[in-house]
């Protein structure tokens, strides 16, 4: 899998190394899938830091530079990226699906969940710090 990038990307070589490490760690490297990562100013008028939509063949991630009150730091954006990459993995593996504007988790309609109780969000929250601390290339030079 070779990621495609869009938008203004600070520290591109660091981002690319990090994304490829995430792909490898999440066991996505051998999959022939399309992954698009866009760095945008805001999402949902600054209310959302990151978002991922997808299906088994492709995933589209957006990472915001700003929220409602401030610019996010580069490291904050990279942590959000690890969270959204977990969602990409969930789509690629068929664990998370969107059908007829409804979410399905592991084949079951997932209507009774909110953001905090949804199992796909719990997995992403549980892994975001672990992935970030383990895989971010702190040895490389970057501007925060």
Rounded CA separation 37/21 (Å): 15
- What's the confidence (pLDDT) of residue 24? 97
Q: Would you state the pLDDT for residue 1?
A: 86
Convert 105-127 into a string of H (helix), E (strand) and C (coil).
Answer: ECCEECCCCCCCCCHHHHHHHHH
Residue 128: count of CB within 10 angstroms of its CB? 20
Task: Evaluate if residue 85 carries a pLDDT over 90.
Answer: yes
pLDDT digits (tens, 9 = 90+) for 2-51: 899 999 998 999 999 999 999 999 999 998 999 999 999 999 888 899 99
Report pLDDT digits (tens) over 110-142.
888 888 889 999 999 999 999 999 999 999 999
Is this model's pTM higher than 0.85 or not? yes
Our measurement of the distance from residue 125's CA atom to the centroid of its chain's CA atoms, rounded to an integer in Å, reads: 11
Gyration radius of the chain's alpha carbons: 15
Q: Domains in the chain, start-ordered, CATH in brackets?
A: 4-135 (3.40.390)
């Amino acid at each position: 899998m070779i990621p495609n990038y869009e938008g203004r990307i600070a520290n591109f070589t660091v981002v690319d190394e990090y994304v490829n490490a995430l792909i490898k760690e999440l066991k996505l490297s051998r999959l022939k899938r399309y992954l698009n990562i866009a760095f945008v100013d805001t999402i949902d008028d600054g209310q959302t830091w990151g978002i991922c939509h997808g299906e088994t063949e492709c995933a589209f991630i957006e990472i915001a530079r700003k929220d409602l009150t401030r610019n996010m730091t580069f490291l904050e954006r990279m942590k959000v990226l690890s969270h959204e990459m977990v969602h990409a993995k969930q789509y690629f593996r068929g664990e998370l699906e969107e059908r007829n504007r409804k979410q399905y988790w592991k084949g079951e309609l997932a209507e009774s969940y909110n953001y905090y109780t949804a199992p796909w969000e719990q997995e992403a929250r549980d892994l975001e710090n672990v992935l970030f601390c383990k895989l971010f290339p702190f040895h490389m030079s970057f501007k925060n």
